Every structure is written in structure tokens, then in C-alpha cells.
Amino acid sequence: MAIRPNSIEARDVAHVLHPYTNAVAHEKSGPVMIAGGDGIYVIDSEGNRYIEGLAGLFCASLGFSEKRLVDAATRQMSTLPFYHSFSGKSHETAVELATRLIELAPVPMSKVFFVNSGSEANDTAVKLIWYYHNAIGKPEKKKIISRLRAYHGVTVASASLTGLPYNHRDFDLPIDRVLHTDCPLHYRYAEKDESEDAFATRCAASLEQLIQKEGPETIAAFFAEPLMASGGCIVPPPTYYEKIQAVLKKYDILLVADEVICGFARTGNMFGCESFGIKPDMISMAKQLSAAYQPIAALMINDKIYDGIRIESEKIGTFGHGFTYGAHPVATAVALETLNIYRDRDILGHVRSVMADFQSGLHAFADHPLVGNVRGMGLIGALELVKDKATRESFDMAWGVAGHVGERALAHGLITRALGDTVNFCPPLIITKAEIADMFARAKVALDETHAWLQ
Ligand code: PLP
């Protein structure tokens, strides 16, 4: 349908530059205007209701109408609407939130540094990795290894860590201190008849080869999102992290866990690190930290990294890093109330009580003619679409098959996300068993219609 002149849609096309959108296609299609929310549903400007099958962007854990969060923001707005934490200033909700996060941390942590986005948290981690190695007199130990198909954000350093071509191409990235090792997706990258364990061994050996080739004295850190959500819900084999961490330990390499999506019950434990036995030196978190009601993220660091900052403070004085809105009072108040709600309503217990239904609903798609691989954990999952189930041949990306499933799902009142050739599900954590069944029923219609479209 043509976009009506002077409509809000026309003004969107005229004035808004959309992230992760094909600019030329958008000029023709215009936006979907979202006007409100109710539980796990969002409502467009014409009154159509959609199940938010991706919790917005893997973040709206408590859905779209949580009154307690609105009240927490309003209260804070009327007491202290803004203050910063530069030059030793502080305020109550920042301190309370940091205290709670340290208590919740999956491994002993020392300090919390507040920022506004997952990208900023990961960029801060990169800067601290460099700062720390300068502090301890190892200025040559600066390279960072991430993985192909990883997603760690879009700022210059975090986009470099990201291992997806469209985040690098023509942005002149990655920067030269960032290297990428293998993606631990058994379905795609294992050799014929290679067991999950043998594949994990090969991934760890390949990491070690890269370290050897570059020189172990130059490798500072390894970044890992426990379950690689935006790469298409990549769940590494059970023994993968044990083998990877043995290599990191051998060469004295720091480990950063990116819990931006996994954190706060998504994988069936409070943190993805617990689901996979990961023992990081730093943890980045965002999204479900505030149920997405306020932009806030955090980087937790352990004593070892904090010691580096102390050494530098003695040497050069001020720790020269920080964002105006880091630890914003309204954001910290909302995040603190989010953690209160998780505790009061036992959100982890709820996730554990519905995740078997979610995973069985997801795995029921294994028989669908378009689905080559089903993967997931807790309340997150993806379907990888293939042209040929037997040979695992992928569709030509230009056909946009996963995107077509997304369009058909939208027509049936379900928002999902196509990432490459995967269709992704990551609903609000408050979803009920009945809503899970409804979500997958709508997804099934979308897949069937896409299958018919391809015939
Ligand atoms: N890390 C992971 C694992 C993410 O999924 C994302 C965003 O989706 C980021 C980092 C970047 O977060 P932001 O978009 O808040 O900068």
C-alpha cells in the first residue's frame, strides 16, 4: 500500500534513519508504528495486537505494561531526576543496584561500572583490558579474540568484536587488535560424523593455534556470549567452555562474558555463565537488567582488574573513563525495581516452570520441511531454515526466506526476528504456557505459508 502523504508514516520515512533496516526498502514500505503494549503483546497504531516473540530486542522481560516499573521511574523522577557519578559523586539507587548485582554475580566480582548500552559495556571492557595490561607492565598483551558469528554491539570496538559481516563491511572494521576464532555451532561447522565433544576439542585446538600464531604474549582477552543469541541462538557443545577455558588459563588470557541477552534467567539460570560453567574476569549486562524500561547496562569487574585500576590511579591519577548518563538515577531505580520484581515473583522459578513447554514447542518444528536445525535453551531458541534437510544446503540469502517467515508471522499477530537463515524466539520471561502454545501455533502458520510460497 502506498504511504499517505503527510502521514506519520511519511514523516518517518522523511526524517528517521532506522537502525538495522534497508534504507531503500524502507522508503517503499514505511514503518510499522507501535503505539502501546499489554503484557506480552504490543499494539500497532491501527489496533492490531502482536505477541512480542522476541521481547522487543531480547529485552522486555516483564512485558509491556509493568506498573511497578512505571511507578519506580515516576518516584525517582520527582526526587532526583538526574545526577552523575563523576568525581566521586553517588546516589542511593546506584549503590543499591551495584550491591545487588555483586550479590547476584555468578562468580566473585569486585565493582560495577554503569553505562547506557551493551555496546558501551563491551567497549568499556576492551578499554579496561588495555588499561589493565599497561598497569601490570605488559603493554604488548593487547589483542582480543572473539568468535565468528558473535554479536557484541556496534560501537567501534564492540562492532569489531562482533563477528558478522554486515557489521564490518564498509564500516572499515574490525580494528586490527581484534581477531576471530571458530563459531561453536556443531550443526554447521562439525565435520562429518564428528561428535559434539570432538568438535569442541577442535574449536579449542583452533583457538590455541591462533594464540600460538599471533604470539601468546600479545593475546590479552577472549570474549564470549555464553549462548550466542544474535548469531542465531548458537548453543555450544556441553564440553566446549571447559576446553576453551583451559586454553585461556594456559596462556594467562582474560575472559569476558557478555551476558547482555543471557543474563537474568533467560537460559534457565540467573546467568548464562552458570548454565555453561564459565568463570569470567568481567561480565557485561544490559537489556533484562531493567526489563528494557530504561536504557542501562553494566560491566562487572573482579578484584584482579580493579587492582589494575588502583595501580593506574596511583601512577596517573584520575581513571579517565565515564559517560554522562552512566548510573542515571531513573535508570538505576528502574533496574533495582526490576530485580525486586524478579525476586518477589520468583521469575527464575517461573522460567523453569515453562521452559520445557517452550523447548518442546520449538523442537516440534524439527519435522517441518523448511527446518534443518532446532536449537535453544531456557526461554530462547531458533529454527535454522534449509533448502535441503538431508544435505543441510542453505537457501540463497537473496531469497530472504527467514524474512518471509517473519512477514507472514506479523500478518498473523506474531513478531519474531529473522537473523540470517534463522527464525528466532525469545519471548518476555512472564509468558505463560498457553501463550507459548499460541505463539508457536502462529509461527507454524507462518512457516506453512512460506513453504507454500516456495513451491
Ligand atoms: N552484546 C550482546 C550479546 C547483544 O545481544 C547486544 C545487543 O543486542 C549487545 C551486546 C549490544 O547492546 P546494545 O544494543 O545495547 O548496544
pLDDT tens-digit series, residues 4-55: 999 999 999 999 999 999 999 999 999 999 999 999 999 999 999 999 999 9
Compute the distance between CA of residue 183 and CA of residue 132 in angstroms, rounded to an integer.
Answer: 27
The proportion of the chain whose per-residue pLDDT surpasses 90, expressed as a percent, equals 99
CA–centroid distance, residue 260 to ligand 1 (Å): 6
Compute the distance between CA of residue 323 and CA of residue 340 in angstroms, rounded to an integer.
Answer: 26
| Average pLDDT for 181-185 | 98
For residue 286 and ligand 1, the question of a CB distance below 6 A is answered with: yes
For residue 230 and ligand 1, the question of a CB distance below 6 A is answered with: yes
Complex ipTM above 0.90? yes
| Average pLDDT for 68-83 | 98
| Average pLDDT for 66-90 | 98
CA–centroid distance, residue 422 to ligand 1 (Å): 18
- State residue 223's pLDDT score: 98
For residue 338 and ligand 1, the question of a CB distance below 6 A is answered with: no
What is the pTM assigned to this prediction?
Answer: 0.98
Compute the distance between CA of residue 310 and CA of residue 316 in angstroms, rounded to an integer.
Answer: 10
| Average pLDDT for 116-142 | 98
For residue 424 and ligand 1, the question of a CB distance below 6 A is answered with: no
pLDDT tens-digit series, residues 102-115: 999 999 999 999 99
User: Is the pLDDT assigned to residue 369 strictly greater than 90?
Assistant: yes
| 254-258: strand order across its sheet | 111-115, 297-301, 282-285, 254-258, 219-224, 143-147, 178-181
User: Is the pLDDT assigned to residue 183 strictly greater than 90?
Assistant: yes
Q: Report yes or no: 380 and 361 within 8 Å, Cβ to Cβ.
A: no
- State residue 444's pLDDT score: 98
Residue with cell 531505580: 333
Q: Report yes or no: 270 and 244 within 8 Å, Cβ to Cβ.
A: no
CA–centroid distance, residue 152 to ligand 1 (Å): 5
CA–centroid distance, residue 235 to ligand 1 (Å): 17
pLDDT tens-digit series, residues 253-264: 999 999 999 999
Atom from ligand 1 closest to the CA of residue 154: 16
Q: Greatest CA span in the chain, whole angstroms?
A: 69
Atom from ligand 1 closest to the CA of residue 230: 5
Compute the distance between CA of residue 270 and CA of residue 104 in angstroms, rounded to an integer.
Answer: 8
For residue 301 and ligand 1, the question of a CB distance below 6 A is answered with: no
Atom from ligand 1 closest to the CA of residue 286: 15
